[in-house]
Amino acid sequence: MASPSVATSSFSQVSAHSMGFCSTSSTSPFDGPVLVDKARFLQSPLRAGGPYLCSLPARTITTRSYYDSATVHQIEGYATEVLRDLHLQYQGIRLVGRHSKVAPEPERVTTVLIRMPNRPQLELWYRAAREINQLLLRHCHHGISVEIIETDLFNGNYCSPVESSHSIFPKWKNLAQEIVAHYSNNNDWIGLNCFRYGTNPRRSSNPVTVIIRVRKTCRNPFVTEARYIHDILAASGEAEVDVLFTKDATKSFVLNSTVPREATTGSVYPGVSIGVYKTGGYHPVHLGDLFNQRYEIVGKWSYGQFSTVWLAKDNRLQRDVTLKILKATASEKSKELSILTELSQLSISHPGKEHVLSLLDHFAHNGPNGSHLCLVFPSMLSDGEAMTARGKARDVTFVRTVSTQIILGLEFLHELNFIHSDLHPANILFNTNQIKLQNVLMPPEFSPVRWLPGIEVDSSALQYLMISQRPYGMLDDTNASCLMVKIGDFGGAFQSNDKNSLPMTPFGMRAPEMLNGRSLDSKIDIWALGCLIFQLATNEPLFPLMTFGCTNEECRANLSDLVTQATGNGYVGFAAHLRERLQSDFAGSTIPILCQ
């Protein structure tokens, strides 16, 4: 194994180009030993491989220009053989090119990329990487690295504010001043802040971390400094807080910040901008606010590119509802209200109607940032995104029951000549009569907004930020027969004869005709439906496409390559591809039938 100096210098191969780290948290993505052997193979808690690994975050690109499909299948088969011999479960194997987004290599690094369940097995992963590499060399496949990575780390890191109830919150200003004063030679430092930072989609479970951003060109590993800063924190009673030095270029590649990526002009303590709360943007909503003299805000549910979504109490009818509040600019252009109104008013008898989210009420709300369209829906307990976040395995019965309801709802829409165009897990909603939503909401976590000096305070922004109070996993143990499933979010829907509307389908679920400019019809929903059902069954996308940092052209090319690899050998080859990734109870004659 490597000496400590080698391990330190290789740390950028593990932790998003991070250089120094001091952890007391077992939930940190960077916790644990980092070892590199003489052959330059890495063994670390969440990632293993070699002989060359790109620094994270890394872009995944196609290799179709360099290898034909038969060679790709052969190389991926060797990796599968080793993993099976070692009894290692995996979630996906692909021959890809990898490029660091922080310090891109001169050429793409050809890599057998293996995504693993979130149950790290350090020694076995390391052994598998070595054996796969040796097997490739024996068969004359030179110049190919092996990367075994936990799925959560592959997907990226989540960064969110520290809740005001945490003990470090009132201390942070003085702690930050003490850290800066202690290190007068900090010319390489660009930023100092405190976040919850890690790979867990449930952000409140990620460790509190002091993050020091330094210049991209800096070569100091900062290991000693990280330990000293941790000593300062420990002396103030915050020994459980982690310390991370990271190059500045990684900042823009943090996934899913608490507010949308376009939020760049304002300032909030600690460390999240809120520039979307301006004229034409979101309406500032707080717990207890009353809308239309009727709907009282009870909890935060989620947000999207064009709206925020809240749990509210209908004080007139004494029931829970969901309140969707659109941005002011989105309210002016939205077709969603007209589509929902038409669907709600139809007297047609169709079993799929009850599997499409119905509109209960709508109104306009005037606020400091403009006029906002507000849509009221029945309250739903969960969605497909939350159902897949914890990685719980799903059996055939669950998938059959859920997909039947989705198909009925989609058939209802298509018979009325509507194309949904935005089918993905977050837009599939789940409910059951066995649980009351207000009883399971997570406690609110507030991050007060602090205005920058010289900026005039007004009512356009929030008094505090909140992360979602939606609990993950609350329907994990619910019998599938008790679930009511509905298709929601019609912001991207349009009629099939509307040639001016563009589909909003996420890249990884786009049908081939959407990639090559062919005319579109309701079949784009059917393709997305297949991708959706697979993701609900396996908790991972059918076509695992990395989009961060990629241009639209790169995304189209990469997706086209993935589809060709999976379907290039016809439905028999596609069935084999699915059989490798689905649980054993999906095997047998069912898969080939589905593939046809």
**More confident site: 47 or 457:** 47
**Cis amide linkage into residue 207, ω under 30° from 0:** no
Instruction: Give the pLDDT of residue 78.
Output: 93
Give the other-Cβ count within 10 Å of 196's Cβ.
22
What residues does 50 pair with on adjacent strands? 146
Mean pLDDT, the chain, integer: 79
Give the other-Cβ count within 10 Å of 170's Cβ.
9
* Residue 544 in tokens: 């695992």
Report, as an integer, the average pLDDT of 1-11: 31
Instruction: Give the pLDDT of residue 530.
Output: 93
Highest mean pLDDT of the ranges 51-65, 112-126, 416-430 = 416-430
Sign of the alpha-carbon dihedral angle for 258, 259, 262, 265? negative
**More confident site: 520 or 474:** 520
How many CA atoms does the CB half-sphere of 437 hold within 13 Å? Answer: 22
Instruction: Give the pLDDT of residue 1.
Output: 27
Lowest mean pLDDT among 248-257, 365-374, 385-394: 248-257
Q: How confident is the model at residue 301 (pLDDT cuts 50, 70, 90)?
A: confident
Lowest mean pLDDT among 175-189, 271-285, 359-373, 485-499: 271-285
Lowest mean pLDDT among 51-65, 83-97, 224-238: 51-65
Instruction: Give the pLDDT of residue 322.
Output: 95
Indicate whether 15 pLDDT > 50. no
Instruction: Give the pLDDT of residue 452.
Output: 64
Residue 79: name the closest of 139, 5, 17 by CA: 139
- 322 contacts 379 by C-beta, under 8 angstroms: yes
How many CA atoms does the CB half-sphere of 353 hold within 13 Å? Answer: 13
Instruction: Give the pLDDT of residue 209.
Output: 87
Instruction: Give the pLDDT of residue 401.
Output: 92
Lowest mean pLDDT among 58-67, 94-103, 518-527: 58-67
Lowest mean pLDDT among 42-51, 91-100, 102-111: 102-111
CATH classification code of 158-256: 3.30.300
Indicate whether 92 pLDDT > 90. no
- 255 contacts 548 by C-beta, under 8 angstroms: yes
- Which residues neighbour 58 within 8 Å (Cβ) at sequence distance 6 or greater? 98, 99, 100, 101
Highest mean pLDDT of the ranges 200-214, 298-312, 472-486, 534-548 = 298-312
Residue 192: φ, ψ to 5°: -135, 120
Indicate whether 592 pLDDT > 60. no
Give the span between the Cα atoms of 276 and 261, in whole angstroms.
9
Write 396-402 long-range contacts (CB < 8 A, 24+): 396/585, 396/586, 396/590, 397/480, 398/480, 399/533, 399/536, 399/537, 401/480, 401/481, 401/483, 402/428, 402/480, 402/483, 402/485, 402/533, 402/536
Indicate whether 273 pLDDT > 50. no
Instruction: Give the pLDDT of residue 323.
Output: 97
Give the span between the Cα atoms of 128 and 92, in whole angstroms.
15
pLDDT of 423-463, one tens digit each?
998 899 998 876 776 677 888 877 777 676 666 778 888 88
Is the pTM of the predicted complex or chain greater than 0.85?
no
Indicate whether 66 pLDDT > 50. yes
**Domain extent listing, the chain:** 30-155, 158-256, 283-348+358-379+436-471
- Which residues neighbour 401 within 8 Å (Cβ) at sequence distance 6 or greater? 480, 481, 483
Instruction: Give the pLDDT of residue 267.
Output: 31
Instruction: Give the pLDDT of residue 285.
Output: 93
Q: How confident is the model at residue 65 (pLDDT cuts 50, 70, 90)?
A: low
For residue 427, give the 3-state DSSP assignment.
Answer: helix
- Which residues neighbour 2 within 8 Å (Cβ) at sequence distance 6 or greater? 10, 35, 36, 37, 38
> Does the structural domain 283-348+358-379+436-471 have CATH classification 3.40.50.620?
no
- Element at 19 (helix H, strand E): strand 18-22
| Share above pLDDT 90 across residues of the chain, in percent, rounded to a whole number | 28
Give the other-Cβ count within 10 Å of 163's Cβ.
18
* Residue 262 in tokens: 């376009």
- 302 contacts 468 by C-beta, under 8 angstroms: yes
Residue 405: name the closest of 488, 513, 285, 478 by CA: 488
Instruction: Give the pLDDT of residue 402.
Output: 93
- First-to-last C-alpha distance (Å) of the chain: 50
**More confident site: 295 or 572:** 295
Give the span between the Cα atoms of 423 and 530, in whole angstroms.
10
Instruction: Give the pLDDT of residue 133.
Output: 93
Give the span between the Cα atoms of 340 and 323, in whole angstroms.
14
Instruction: Give the pLDDT of residue 179.
Output: 85
Lowest mean pLDDT among 104-108, 380-384, 464-468: 104-108
Fold matches, 158-256 and 283-348+358-379+436-471: no
Pick the CATH number of 30-155 from 3.30.70.1350, 3.30.70.100, 3.30.450.40, 1.10.260.40: 3.30.70.1350
**Cis amide linkage into residue 378, ω under 30° from 0:** no
